[in-house]
Structure 1
Amino acid sequence: MASMLEYIKTILQKVSFDKALFEKELSKAIAMLVPEEIKQLKTWCYAQFGKIYRVVLNRCFSRVRFS
């Protein structure tokens, strides 16, 4: 079975044509994952979408607080 993180990556790739939908799905994803997965997702997102959605990524990931 694929991990939740892999599932989320698939969803984000499928909605990446739409900025608002991408941001909504990314926010939901961040809320579902544990801190270690969020760090992995962040690295992956910047590699995949950093050129087109840097502002969205900065906004979504800036809300994350690791304890």
Structure 2
Amino acid sequence: MLSMLEYIKTILQKVSFDKNLFDKELAKAIKMLIPKEVKQLKRWCYVQFGKMYRAVLNRRFARVRFT
């Protein structure tokens, strides 16, 4: 069975063709995950999509507060 984090990674890869859809799904993902998973997602996103969607990633992850 897939973890929520792995499921979200799959979704983000599938919607990565559309910037607005990617942005929307990333926002939902950040709300669903616990802080430790958000950190992992952030690292993964910058590796996978950093060139394509750096502005989206910067905006979404800038709002996240890791405690």
TM-score normalized by the length of structure 2: 0.98
Residue in 2 aligned with 1:56? 56
The aligned amino acid for 1:9 is: K
Tell me what 1:19 maps to: 19
Q: Tell me the number of residue pairs that the alignment of Structure 1 and Structure 2 aligns.
A: 67
- Paired position in structure 1 for 2:37: 37
> What residue is the counterpart of 1:8 in the other structure?
8
Give the superposition deviation at 1:25.
Answer: 0.1
TM (norm. structure 1) is: 0.98
Structure 1: state its 5+ residue gaps: none
Query: Take 2:63 and 2:28, find their aligned partners in 1: how far apart are those partners?
Result: 12
- Identity rate, percent: 78
Between the aligned partners of 1:3 and 1:38, the Cα distance in structure 2 is: 13
- The CA deviation string for residues 17-59 of structure 1, in whole angstroms up to 9 with x for no partner, is 0000000000000000000000000000000000000000000
**CA distance in 2: counterparts of 1:51 and 1:66, whole angstroms:** 24
Give the CA deviation at 1:66: 1.7
Q: Which whole-Å CA distance do the structure 2 matches of 1:46 and 1:66 have between them?
A: 17
